Copies of this chain bind each other. A is one copy, B any other.
Amino acid sequence: MRLLALFDGTIADPEAPHIRVDDLGLTRGDGVFESVLVVDGRPRELGPHLERMQRSARMLELAIPPVAEWERLVAAVLAAWTAPGEVAVKLVCTRGPEYGDGSPTAYALAFTVEPHTIERRLRGASAIVLDRGFDPEISERAPWLLLGAKTLSYAVNMAATRHASAVGADEVIFRAADGSVLEGPTSTVVVARGRTLRTPPASSGILPGTTQAALFRAAERAGWATKVEPVLVSDLTAADGVFLVSSVRKVVRVHTLDGAALPDASATWSELNALYEAEYS
């Protein structure tokens, strides 16, 4: 099932055209988005998602509607939703038509989480490490690079994922020019060693992860230590477990890195996944 809610709350046909050809989201990738997972009718981490969307919009100097209006929009689309199963709600805000009245374009598109997404959660994924081309220290020095903003300009993220498919891998882990781990094209990297979870800092030019934050919260409650600090590519192979976490795919175990099997982290994955799920029970 798929359902579109326009920003005034109207439920509309997602297969009908609703966007102008001069929308700057389309012609310039000039906008921001979030993907929110909804389980049993309840959106997960909606507050953090909406806060991050506002933060992304500030980085783009984009006049985004306030959080409360997005909450209303999510409620509207979920009120109209009737299908069983998990739902992903994509929230989009663009700078609007170039030759328009200056209003942003904003909408929510809800769709049933696809079987292959659920399968990947259970089976894990193979990943390759790809160079993202920049140094982690550039992020704060060059804000025009929009590192750490969740923009609609995702062509590189999509190309990297296609590159992974072409060499037989499921996922990508980006590394910086200095060899430190950044993030996946659509996920956050979490590394487990002993009873400690680590993830790279947002200051290295990556997106602060909403699902990673929820996972860390849950793990801390269960006695895990958590660290937000630089992670090297060599730390991945030395880890007890490497995970790619994102809202819709949840916690995905990386079983193979650059073609070589990683140590079996099934037990750690089961524990972390259970801790994450318990956050919402």
Interface residue ranges, A against B (CB under 8 Å): 2, 4, 14-31, 33, 59-61, 90, 92, 94, 97, 99, 107, 109, 111, 130-135, 138, 141-147, 149, 151-160, 162-163, 177
Q: Report the minimal beta-carbon distance from A257 to chain B, rounded to whole angstroms.
A: 17
- Contact B14–A159 (Cβ < 8 Å): no
- Contact A133–B130 (Cβ < 8 Å): no
Q: Which residues of B contact A90 (CB under 8 A)?
A: 27
- Contact A145–B135 (Cβ < 8 Å): no
Report how many copies the assembly holds: 2
Q: Report the minimal beta-carbon distance from A174 to chain B, rounded to whole angstroms.
A: 9
Task: Give the most central of A153, A155, A157: most B CB within 10 Å.
Answer: A155
Q: Report the minimal beta-carbon distance from A137 to chain B, rounded to whole angstroms.
A: 10
List 15 A-B pairs, Cβ < 8 Å. Answer: A15-B20, A16-B20, A18-B19, A19-B26, A21-B107, A28-B154, A30-B158, A61-B162, A99-B111, A131-B138, A134-B134, A135-B177, A143-B159, A146-B159, A153-B154
User: In the complex, A242→B90 CA distance in Å?
Assistant: 44
- Contact B130–A21 (Cβ < 8 Å): no
User: In the complex, A61→B15 CA distance in Å?
Assistant: 24
- Contact B146–A138 (Cβ < 8 Å): no
Task: Give the most central of A60, A130, A159: most B CB within 10 Å.
Answer: A159
User: In the complex, A133→B131 CA distance in Å?
Assistant: 13
